[in-house]
Structure 1
Amino acid sequence: MIVLCVRGFVIAQLLYVIQALNSPYQIYDMVQQDICKMRRFPLLDSFLSQTDSILLANPERGAIFRQSWNSSSFKRYSDCKFYIQAPPRMGLYVTVANVQLRKNTRGNCIDSIVVKKSNEKKYEFCDDKEDDEPRVFSDDLGRMRITVNLDSTLPLPTLEDTLEVQLIVTVKGRCNLEGYVPCEDDEDDSCISKNFFGDGIINCPECADENGCLIDSVQTPVVNPSNIFLSALVSLFATAIVCGGCLWCLCKHRRCIDNCNSNSSGTGRSNRDSMVAVDQLHVDLHPPVIPSNEATPSAPPEENKDLPPSYESLFPIGSISR
């Protein structure tokens, strides 16, 4: 039974890994994957910021950069800065799927995201919509820099409040490529892989890949394939430990039962031996009585000692006849 459970678990994990590897998106948790560094010193933080570009080598696979901070964790991390690079002769789309950052009473951003394009233009914002449509940034040269600025000096209003960021990055190219569909009708280099169309995640400006912007791409569940294989191995190892522990407990319990049975049988034998010894002692203390018919008295009974001699002994029959 345990072997069947382990086999079923392994098969489920393998199917999960295969499904994750076939996902059209690579997931980047910015804190877990060291994009957001631990806060140390301001000068040191600037040197430790991400400088190597994250290359999207496969144009048919996008990327999702996401992170959530609670009321205490956002104080421990410095600003998150990273570069995104498309393959040669291809461009990028960056969609702001979800941003929950703070504003002051005047509507100015306390926390913000800064998108810098390859032409050095910068765009700063702290929400995810512009004119009731998701923010989508395009770069034809395929290189952009993303910076998430968090004000650690100002605490969140309540302990339940969180700060959240989720960005969708998609590689775009020329529309003469097989399997590519245009995002913008008037742009020859705005085509993305057809795999991104109708998947519930907005990749194109004006939501052209989803037939409108009424869908909520934030609620779309995504699978993180970057860590799923390691998670599967850890789960399998944990299952093996649990199964081994169960088998060890069963063996130990069985051994304990055998010992208890042997002790019980030994105790029963000792009790029986003790009873036999008591019976023997009882027999020795009460010797058997000899029956009366087997007795051989060595002297006449005491009641015959004072009687007179018999008549035959005084007058024999032969002496009277003479």
Structure 2
Amino acid sequence: MFSSAVITLILIISLFIVVSEQSRPDYKILNIEDPKLCSPITKRKIRTDGLIVKEGRSINKHSITWTANNHCNFEVQSSYRGGGILAVIQHLNLRRNSTTGECIDYVEFSSREVMLPYRYCDIISADVAMGTTENATSHLPILRGSYMNSDGELNTVIHISKIPLSYEEHTGFEIVFTSYADCSDKEDRRTSNLKPCIEKFDKVCINKEYFSDGVVNCPFYGCTDELSCSTELKEPVEPRWSAESKVIIGSISSIFVLFTFFILCLWVFKKHKLLCWAEDFAHPCETTSNRNSRVMELSEQTGARLARSTDPQPNAPPAEEEKDLPPSYDSLFPDGPG
């Protein structure tokens, strides 16, 4: 009974740890080499609270001509009913033809609500773009390097040309997609964990855990979810808690908590002489009278064995009498031969 209660308590604690870890928002991190993001057959649709898309390893090693362009088309869907998607380019360095002005490589955003797609190449940094005075007093998003979609389905195209990189030329990008919703209804529990990108403007709200995490999620002047922008052109830092980090930290925390609980249980059992430390652990169903009768029975058996060991041994059988032997030669012929 007691051991069942202990096992139940351990399971409840483990379930609480797992639920608490899963309640924290994660960024899903993918690159254009991942088949979960890019497929030559179909357009992937990804529903998530937060998504980070990177270039992958092969792009910067693009030193020879590919047989075909790398063209990745996917759709990001909002995790909130009636919500939208924010897309912010954290950093981007893609090629443009200096003669024609056309983008050789590009990132393109489009949706049903906007007729013309937004295409980006050259060098873009979220810190620099949102640190300018453009739309400084407006609730409109910064247009350079970001996109705001209100219908909850944002189509994205990432195109990398098969033309090889020139000597010492580097390309790369990192794009963050974040679901948002209207959080003006304070009594709606579904939006209780949301926070406005701009104070007192609760039409665009994201998960409060995405604030001050080293990633620019809100496409507004001043990097509102990070409190301020850096004016230097730099790549943004990695998120403080990526999905891989959370799995590792959660696993280590769970193991530590369970091990501590196990040691505490051992100490309690030993102190109170429970389970294997109990005095009657070998025969838990015996009463005191049963133990006394068993001791008496063992004593009687031991005394009987000792009495048998002290009894005299029977006499050995008499030695066998000497058998009759034939007379010797001297007795038959006393005078010798002849």
Taking structure 1 as the reference length, the TM-score comes to: 0.53
Of 156, 172, 183, which aligns to 2:197? 183
Match of 1:194 in 2: 208
Give 1:120 deviation, angstroms: 3.8
Alignment partner of 2:97: what SS? coil
Which residue number corresponds to residue 306 of structure 1? Answer: none
Aligned partner of residue 209 in structure 1, secondary structure: helix
Q: C-alpha displacement at 1:227, in angstroms?
A: 11
1:1-322 → structure 2 map (5 Å cutoff): 24-37=26-39, 45=40, 48=41, 50-56=42-48, 59=49, 62-68=50-56, 69=59, 70-72=61-63, 75=66, 78-87=70-79, 88-106=81-99, 107-121=101-115, 122-127=117-122, 128-129=124-125, 132-133=129-130, 135-152=145-162, 154-158=163-167, 160-175=168-183, 176=185, 177-185=191-199, 187-205=201-219, 206=221, 207-214=223-230, 218-222=235-239, 225=243
Q: Give the number of aligned pairs.
A: 199
Instruction: Name the CA distance, whole Å, in 2 between partners of 1:74 and 1:187.
Output: 49
Find the residue that maps to 2:175 and give its secondary structure: strand
Q: In 2 relative to 1, CA 73–169 (structure 1 residues): closer, same or farther, beyond 3 Å?
A: farther
- Once the two structures are superposed, residues 131-188 of structure 1 have per-residue CA deviations (whole angstroms, 9 ceiling, x without a partner) of 8336221111111011011221x22112x53321211011111123213211135754
Q: What is the one-letter code of the residue matched to 1:220?
A: V
Counterpart-to-counterpart distance in 2, 1:36 and 1:75: 17
Measured after TM superposition, the shift of residue 71 of structure 1 is 1.7
Distance 1:74 1:86, change over 3 A: farther
- Kindly provide the amino acid, as one letter, of the partner of residue 156 in structure 1: L
Give the superposition deviation at 1:200.
Answer: 1.0
Q: Rg bigger for which structure? A: 1
Report the alpha carbon displacement of residue 85 of structure 1 after superposing the two structures with TM: 0.7
Partners of 1:228 and 1:31 lie apart in 2 by 23
Residue matched to 1:294: none
- The amino acid that maps onto 1:125 is Y
Alpha-carbon shift at residue 74 of structure 1 (Å): 8.2
Over 3 Å counting, the alpha-carbon distance change for 1:165 and 1:143 in structure 2 is same
Task: Give the CA deviation at 1:67.
Answer: 1.4
Higher deviation after alignment, 220-229 or 189-198: 220-229
Taking a change above 3 Å as real, the CA distance of residues 172 and 116 of structure 1, as seen in their structure-2 partners, is same
**1:190, distance to aligned residue in structure 2 (A):** 0.1
CA 1:161–1:22: 2 relative to 1, 3 Å: farther
Structure 1 position 229, deviation (Å): 7.2
Gaps of 5+ in 1: 1-17, 38-44, 231-322
Q: Does the aligned pair in 1 maintain the 2:73–2:158 contact within 8 Å?
A: yes
- Aligned letter for 1:151? S
Structure 1 residue 125 displacement after superposition: 1.1
- For residue 93 of structure 1, give the secondary structure of its aligned residue in structure 2: strand
Q: TM-score, normalised by structure 2?
A: 0.51
AA partner of residue 120 (structure 2): F
- The amino acid across from 1:89 in the alignment is G
For residues 251-273 of structure 1, the C-alpha deviation after alignment (integer angstroms, 9 at most, x for no partner) is xxxxxxxxxxxxxxxxxxxxxxx
Distance of aligned partners of 1:227 and 1:204 in 2 relative to their CA distance in 1, 3 Å threshold: closer
Cα deviation, 1:203-251, whole Å, max 9, x if unaligned, reads: 0122111122217773412466379979xxxxxxxxxxxxxxxxxxxxx
Given residue 135 of structure 1, which amino acid in structure 2 is its aligned partner? G
Question: What CA distance in whole angstroms lies between the structure 2 residues aligned with 1:217 and 1:201?
Answer: 12
